[in-house]
Amino acid sequence: MKKSKEKSALILGVSGQDGSYLAAFLLAKGYRVVGASRDAQMSSFANLKRLQIYGRVELESVSLNDFRSVLQILKKVQPNEIYNLAGQTSVGLSFDQPVESFESISIGTLNLLEAIRFLDIPIRIYNAGSSECFGNTEGVAATEETPFRPRSPYAVAKAAAFWHMANYREAYGLFACSGLLFNHESPLRPERFVTRKIVNGACRIAKGSGEVLQLGNIEVERDWGWAPEYIGAMWRMLQQENPEDFVIATGETNKLADLVREAFDMVNLNWKDHVTTSETLFRPTDILTVRADPGKAERKLGWKAKFKMKDVVRMMVEEELKNI
């Protein structure tokens, strides 16, 4: 049972990069933290163990696609705050698994909102939106008012979840908000994400692996930030008097080729000697340039990214070198 003045938070997707950092962040603030995954008994929760908080997070099983399962977890935990970070997280994988991607992201979010409405309890809910919703903005920096033009199954699912949140906020008065987070990285990223693939590859090559790193389109431009500090923006959204959606980003855009060069420079190598590109790794549709205007987050949340792409690459390379 939670203490009378102790806030409780339910993190859906606690085993992932953002969920693990968020759990550590909330524990440091004195929260009771309950983490949920599809099968808590079978999950390794390696990230929680890596952050040395595994024994401090209460773990529960829940299937967001099952409305009864969602109702049960909300009645059992009775959280003050919910952070919905669950669902398929890879843009590339969503082209291979479009139905699973849509159901795990969009239907899961809808079940959460409907369960909160059904139980009629004052829960504040944060939903992990994505910059992918904006699609191609023709180089214009995206704000909270920029129209969505999703270009992947993942982005379509995230856009649907965003509008579920907005609808329940407006129709039923729920404290529901979404963070439109641009790319944010850390050593907890799985290697299927290109930033971790690049960093790990550069470090292995520097240690003498002799491999050639194969990448897709390195001319794409993205806004890369540091995941541990993006967690603070999520929390701040739920502490506001009124629920609103926010773009969370650094405001700085770089080419993937620049990130590759930075990673190899960190290990004193010329990336052009160790990297090739292949069209087989290109996505069916992709966004060439991504730009963000996170001004609203700074004005209303008092949040501003401290770390930019070069900082992120440096910290990831340093951590990876320790582990090799």
Which residues belong to the active site? 130, 132, 154
142 DSSP 8-state letter: B
Please tell me the distance from the alpha carbon of residue 161 to that of residue 295, in angstroms, as a whole number.
23
Task: Judge whether 189 and 196 are in contact, CB under 8 Å.
Answer: yes
- Distance (Å, whole) CA 146 – CA 299: 18
Angle in degrees, CA 242, 238, 305, rounded to 5: 110
Tell me the residue length of the chain. 324
CA pseudo-torsion sign 296, 16, 205, 289? negative
Residue 217, number of CB atoms within 10 A of its CB: 16
CA atoms within 13 A on the CB side of 137: 21
Token pair in block for residue 144: 């909270």
| Structure token digits, residue 280 | 């087989």
Alpha-carbon dihedral of residues 238, 240, 241, 246, nearest 10 degrees? -90
